[in-house]
Amino acid sequence: MTVHRCPALLVAAPASGAGKTTVTAALARRHRDRGGHVRVFKAGPDFLDPMILEQASGTPVYNLDLWMGGRDHCRALLHEAAGRADLILVEGVMGLFDGEPSSADLALELGLPVLAVIDGSAMAQSFGAVAQGLACYRPGISLTGVLANRLAGEAHYRMVADSLPPGLPARGWLPRDEGLGLPARHLGLFQPADIADCDARIARAAALLHEAPAPPPAVAFPPPGGAGIPRRLAGVRIAVARDAAFSFIYPANLDLLRALGAELAFFSPLADTDLPRAHALYLPGGYPELHLSRLAANEAMKRAVRDFHAGGGPVVAECGGMLYLLEALADSAGHSAAMAGVLPGTATVQERLANLGLHRVPLPEGELRGHTYHHSRMQCGLQPLIHSVAARHHGTPEPVYRAGRLTASYVHLYFPSNPEAAAGLFMPGGAAAECRRPLRAAETTP
């Protein structure tokens, strides 16, 4: 295979909240509007930032995580992108050096130059000190420049730019403008569909990007190593929930299932009244608590899910997908609604964070990796099959439930971390369990 070369940048910051997503989206939209082909990635586990970045770039946004996916998987994603794009942007996670693995780890491992985004709204000459700290804190980091965010104007930009040390250039700025911010809720940013002017905000950010960075240096992305994916799910059709309530799906998970040979049939627990014909069912996470009334009122879908599980079909339910299977779910205001009733128990969404972190899940099918991030508390009448193992020393394990062929947990699994184990979760046992009606053409759209 050929080594692909493509200009690339990792967009990082000293801390969360500096505007990495806004800047990355603006850079992507600006390049796209000029006729370029940009591919954008998000460092670490995240679902919401990639949705915004996909809106900006017009292409699917994949996650790069050295712990969940591994180095070879990350290299494979970048190699594929570099063969098609003329610019690669990677939005970092948290501060440049925060976490294990950090954005800095990713930059060093994959040879990515770094553009630092610094919120200069309350700074003058200290801007240069922060920038120098980012450049010098860890040997090997290639900081190619600094972009100033939330400035008062041109004079403010000249002040912070003049504070930068020699050899560290200013790479443009964005003004302080409420029209550029992206609204957030308890799990992070809103989904683009929930922001009426999302595209206009992205376009405005691209238009207001003063002195946009020069094209970054080309990076060599060698072909990945490793064995091919065995087609263990050839002939297996998997029904995948995907709508406004269930949208937290890693694109790499869907790619992996297809590479294993599976056919994917998408459906909406909000709008559809039956499952597509399928051998297995995948209920990913999302915001079911924002759609309690519609989910509760769709008795036909809840009955179809119960019947599928009772018939012995494999079911994988993650976080919000698991909450949908409970007897009842209450939102943070105390409004409760009846859910599918596959799992005995209830859950309540709260304002306070309940758990966050990377986790290993040592299932009988094999160990999978993933992450957890939720504000709900759950009471379940089943004894857990196992508990996850937090990557952090003091992390809180998550219970993993198994009832028949159902596997349910708060952990969002990253299937490429162990393709064999992922295949085992969805493999039908004995005769294929299928629902009643024929597959609709729209259900197999990507």
177, 134, 176: which is closest to 11 by C-alpha?
134
The torsion angle over the Cα atoms of residues 18, 20, 21 and 22, rounded to 10 degrees, is: 70
Tell me if the bond preceding 101 is cis, omega within 30° of 0. Answer: yes
Long-range contacts of 1-5 (CB under 8 A, 24+ apart): 1/79, 1/223, 2/83, 2/223, 3/220, 3/221, 3/222, 3/223, 4/79, 4/82, 4/83, 4/220, 4/221, 5/82, 5/218, 5/219, 5/220, 5/221
Write down the H helix ranges in 227-327: 251-259, 292-297, 299-310, 320-324
Q: Tokens standing for 294? A: 């519609």
**Percent of the chain that is helix, strand, coil (3-state, to 5):** 30, 30, 45
Instruction: Tell me the residue type at 125.
Output: Q
Residue 319 annotated to the active site: yes
CA-CA distances (angstroms) from residue 244 to 63, 266, 270, 315, 360? 20, 13, 8, 20, 28
* Three-state SS at 65: coil
Alpha helices in 113-217, H assignment, sequence order:
126-136, 154-162, 198-207
Which one of 74, 198, 319, 435 is the catalytic residue?
Answer: 319
438 vs 217: CA distance, rounded Å: 51
Sign of the four-CA dihedral 226, 227, 228, 230: negative
- Which is nearest to 415 in space by CA: 226, 238, 280, 255? 255
Q: Is 15 helix (H, G, I), strand (E, B) or coil?
A: coil
Q: Are strands 399-403 and 406-409 parallel, antiparallel or unpaired?
A: antiparallel
CA atoms within a 13 Å half-sphere pointing along the CA-CB vector of 343: 32
Q: Six-digit token pair at 366?
A: 């094999």
Sign of CA dihedral 379, 380, 386, 388: negative
The amino acid at 230? P
Please tell me the distance from the alpha carbon of residue 185 to that of residue 183, in angstroms, as a whole number.
7
Residues, the chain: 446
Nearest CA to 28 out of 181, 173, 182, 212 is that of 212
254 Cβ partners below 8 Å, 6+ apart? 240, 264, 446
The residues assigned a catalytic role are 319
